[in-house]
Amino acid sequence: MCPPSETTPESRRGTAPADEVYLKRVGERVRLGRARRGMSRKILSKASGVSERYLAELERGAGNASLLVLRQIADALSIEAADLISDQPERPVDLTLAIHQLERLAPAELAEARRLLAQRFGAAGVAAHGRIALVGLRGAGKTTLGQLAAEALGVPFVELDREVERASGMELSEIFAVHGQAMFRQLERQCLETIIERFDRVVIATGGSLVTEPATYDLLLSTCFVIWLSTTPDQHMSRVIAQGDLRPMAEGPQAMDDLKAILASRTPLYAKAAAEVNTSDKSEAQAFAALLAVIAKGKSAAVPAP
């Protein structure tokens, strides 16, 4: 007679279809977050202290069963797993209720709700349109066109990455190498806050990955007229090579694939900008004219009707 099975629910954890779906979803989120930030698995491993091997397992949907333990506890408590592991104070009740209300909205309704919130509680409208912020992947023309636009408008031009370097006394590569991405993001947010407080009228060229930080991007969207400078992956790559800099794409034959992955993952974020200027196959003069036209249109739309 065979002895009774000693298999426990804990030892079987991860084998149920729902568990497999959950672990795959976690892996996809890790992979998407890494792609948006232009981080290789090696870089993420160094920044997080987690082995590349474990990250590879996590991304393919074979994460540690402890993830499922936390989810089971959260389900039993009727709270989100993210809330259970958050190191932030508990959300105010009104914020929690508002989040649940927003989650019930369709995508178009959600976009409208965000616009109304920005209009009511942000610095949108005429004041925000005094600040022009350019977003986009490296090679889109943010610095070149931003400088030209600032000169034409008679306002200061500020490159956010250079402000971070000045504030830290270090080059970006040193910040990442010594302090990691978290410190860079903190400095980026602080410098953006300083620029917004200092200037009512300014043209800001942002770093390509700023849009991956929700709080910082929300601050930009609510205090500036944000314009996405877009182009094709091929033109991004050719312009980056012309600049002699392949960041954040890894060197080698995978560079174009990495660039395409970064652009694809960030496109939904860039698309939240108030306007878009596609610089593909445009000369510098043509792209500049297109940018000025969008700025003029944005300003006229911000002026209240008499």
Give the N- to C-terminal CA distance of the chain in Å, as an integer.
91
Cis peptide bond N-terminal to 248, omega within 30: yes
The answer to whether 138 and 240 have CB atoms below 8 angstroms apart is yes
Residue 246 has a CB neighbour count (10 Å cut-off) of: 16
> In whole angstroms, what is the distance from residue 167 CA to residue 48 CA?
25
At residue 286, what are phi and psi to the nearest 5 degrees? -65, -45
- For 64, the token pair is 């540690």
CA distance readout (Å), 224 to 201, 206, 211, 249: 9, 12, 14, 28
- What sections of the chain are H helices per DSSP? 9-12, 17-36, 41-48, 52-59, 66-77, 81-85, 93-103, 107-121, 142-153, 160-168, 172-178, 180-198, 214-223, 233-242, 255-270, 284-302
pLDDT in tens, the chain (306 residues): 444 444 444 444 445 777 888 888 888 888 888 888 888 888 888 888 888 888 888 888 887 777 777 777 777 777 777 777 777 777 788 888 888 888 899 988 988 888 788 777 765 444 456 899 999 998 889 999 999 999 999 999 999 999 999 999 999 989 988 888 889 999 999 999 999 999 999 999 999 999 999 999 999 998 999 999 998 888 877 777 766 665 544 455 677 888 888 888 999 999 999 999 999 888 899 999 999 999 988 876 654 443
Give me the domains of the chain, ranges plus CATH numbers.
Answer: 11-84 (1.10.260.40), 107-302 (3.40.50.300)
Residue 293 has a CB neighbour count (10 Å cut-off) of 12
The per-residue pLDDT for 6 is 43
Backbone φ and ψ of 277, nearest 5°: -120, 115
Residue 228 — φ and ψ, nearest 5°?
-90, 115
Whole-structure pTM value: 0.75
pLDDT for res 211: 94
Closest CA to 13 of 27, 23, 28: 23
CA-closest candidate to residue 206, choices 257, 150, 146? 146
Asked if 141 contacts 148 with a C-beta cutoff of 8 angstroms, the reply is: no
Contact 84, 67 (CB under 8 A): no
pLDDT at 305: 41
